[in-house]
Structure 1
């Protein structure tokens, strides 16, 4: 099954993940996360399938996250509020996100990709 790879081309971590996918000959659709971010319902689906805490979906090192002062807000908001917030701007979303429709990984660590996708 083809995978969906949400990424930001200027992000070094995203480029490393893309190289890993290419080196391992995975078929995937690359989606520019800032130009075509996942919808709120897609984000909710990714979140539920990932098994991760929703806070892990935030790009905490991003300028937008800091500009909006989200550090404290993220701690006290409901999942619905957090999903609504993530859906407002693709630059708030941690990247890359890789999914095959069943599994979801957020971020890139080679050993995690090996475990999840190899």
Structure 2
């Protein structure tokens, strides 16, 4: 299965999502989006395909969101996309793209919606110990 994750290795949610994908026996294409951001067109498509608004795909915490005045509700989607491309830390993460769909995997278990359910064998717990998959690889949450 062809899977791409826009990943930030410093983010626990992103690490958990990557590990869930790998737990399914899939080695995804990993794009560290802070080093290699998506194009404006790719970003707009990911946001749309995930069923989000542009504003819903912006990361506020730990970013210059407020300093850049992005909380101004009068800003257009184009202006927000421009800010996200210019300052990639504003792109919420991780975005995952599979043949089954695109998701912003927050929380990380959202990725299960776009991976084959029968791919999981055995339990899986997040870094914080929260169990996501039971002994049979079935979703708990």
TM over 0.5: yes
User: Which of 76, 79, 83 is equivalent to 2:77?
Assistant: 79
Aligned positions, number = 116
Cα contact 2:7–2:14 (8 A) shared by 1: yes
Structure possessing the higher relative contact order (Cα contacts under 8 Å, 6 or more residues apart): 1
| 1:59–1:93 contact (8 Å) kept in structure 2 | yes
Alpha-carbon displacement from aligned partner over 1:42-86 (angstroms, at most 9, x marks no partner): 1111122111121121111123224324222xx221111111111
- Structure 2 unaligned residues grouped into runs of 5+: 117-141
Residue 50 (structure 1) aligns with: 50
Give, in whole Å, the separation in 1 of the partners of 2:38 and 2:115: 21
Alignment match, 1:59: 59
Q: How does the TM-score come out when normalised to structure 1? A: 0.85
- 8 Å contact from structure 2 (residues 5, 94) kept in 1: yes
Deviation at 1:3, TM superposition (A): 1.4
CA distance in 1, matches of 2:99, 2:64: 28
Structure 2 residue aligned with 1:17: 17
> Hey, which of these two has a bigger chunk of helix by percent?
1
CA distance in 2, matches of 1:106, 1:19: 15
Task: Structure 1: state its 5+ residue gaps.
Answer: none
**Aligned residue number for residue 94 of structure 1:** 92
TM-score, normalised to structure 2, is 0.73
Number of the residue aligned with 1:109: 107
Extract structure 1 runs of 4+ deviating beyond 3 A: none
